[in-house]
Amino acid sequence: MNPTADNDLAGELPTGEGDGPPAAQPQPVAAGAAQPNKLIQAVGLRKAFKVGDRTLEILHGVDLALSHGEVVAMLGTSGAGKSTLLHVLGLLDRPSEGKVLLEGVDAWSLSTAARANLRNQKIGFVFQFYHLLPELSSVENVLLPAMIKEGRREFKKNKSEHVGRATEMLERFGLGSRLTHRPEQLSGGERQRVALARALFLNPPLLIADEPTGNLDSVTGQKVLELLFEEQERRGITLMLVTHDERLARRCKRVLHMGDGMIIRDSAVPIPD
């Protein structure tokens, strides 16, 4: 579940325990300008797809910078380019133009293997449809990031420690009685909590959540969100949350609005009188 090819779900499996640095105040991005000391930055991102004999451009030169510990919501209608931007920022899909700088590293200039390693260790993903491996138990799904990072031999040596930590996480997430259950034996809310534990297992500095409650009922979704925000605060990580829910967005300290493949409004940038 974390292969080294692009356009995959590799890297969606990160993080562990520990506190991160306090959130810094966000700063607007000058077009095309690199900013030091940012966790992740997009510079001039464009993304186009071939559709028959036509070229369809989805992203039109996106500039964005996120600081350590920020909690950011991204709003926008379907087709605005939100998911495409997340896939490029998450190192899953190569941009047609522009850069993604992750802790100062020009990620898309790396080899496929080096970029997969960076994604695995620095970015956690929580998707609407969970993306758990059906043949694995809850604990085994959570362990996937460590398996990929360490390889068979080193993982085998560290397996007992990893299993203990994965078990502790799942118990804290209310899944102590579901450790050996496979995804088909879990409810939607339980699957999403397993996915969150997997995303956090290597303690990445960045967590990307793409409509994490979109497949859940309102009560279950609220419980997952509370857990998501608790873990963000506990760990001090940067959270980028894509949502259609403006009430949810108001819980975030910064709100981005996307439209027509661009960020059309950023609450960190005052609107001139």
Q: How confident is the model at residue 66 (pLDDT cuts 50, 70, 90)?
A: very high
String of DSSP letters for 196-256: HHHHTTT--SEEEEESTTTTS-HHHHHHHHHHHHHHHHHHT-EEEEE-S-HHHHTTSSEEE
**For a pLDDT cut of 70, what percent of the chain falls above it?**
86
The residue among 208, 204, 209 whose CA lies nearest residue 14 is: 204
Asked whether the predicted pLDDT for residue 3 surpasses 60, the reply is: no
- pLDDT at 268 (0 to 100): 84
Better-predicted residue by pLDDT, 196 or 249? 196
State the average pLDDT over residues 56-84. 92
Pick the CATH number of 40-266 from 3.30.930.20, 3.40.50.300, 3.90.1490.10, 3.30.70.100: 3.40.50.300
Q: Kindly report, residue by residue over 75-121, the tens digit of the pLDDT.
A: 988 888 998 999 999 999 999 999 999 999 999 999 999 999 999 99
- pLDDT at 78 (0 to 100): 83
Q: How confident is the model at residue 2 (pLDDT cuts 50, 70, 90)?
A: very low
State the average pLDDT over residues 261-269. 91
Asked whether the predicted pLDDT for residue 10 surpasses 50, the reply is: no
- pLDDT at 269 (0 to 100): 81
Q: How confident is the model at residue 189 (pLDDT cuts 50, 70, 90)?
A: very high
Task: Give the domain ranges of the chain.
Answer: 40-266
State the chain's mean pLDDT as an integer: 86
- pLDDT at 19 (0 to 100): 40
Q: How confident is the model at residue 21 (pLDDT cuts 50, 70, 90)?
A: very low
- Mean pLDDT is lowest, of 32-36, 226-230, 254-258, for 32-36
pTM beyond 0.75: yes
Q: Kindly report, residue by residue over 218-242, the tens digit of the pLDDT.
A: 899 899 999 999 999 999 999 999 9
Name the burial class of residue 223, with classes exposed (0-12), middle (13-18) and buried (19+) by CB atoms within 10 angstroms of its CB.
middle
- Cα separation, 58 vs 47, whole angstroms: 6
First to last CA, the chain: 49
- Mean pLDDT is lowest, of 39-43, 74-78, 238-242, 256-260, for 74-78
Listed in order, strand segments (DSSP E) in 52-127 are 54-66, 71-75, 97-102, 105-106, 123-126
Q: Kindly report, residue by residue over 128-187, the tens digit of the pLDDT.
A: 888 999 999 999 999 999 999 999 999 999 999 999 999 999 999 999 999 999 999 999
Q: How confident is the model at residue 7 (pLDDT cuts 50, 70, 90)?
A: very low
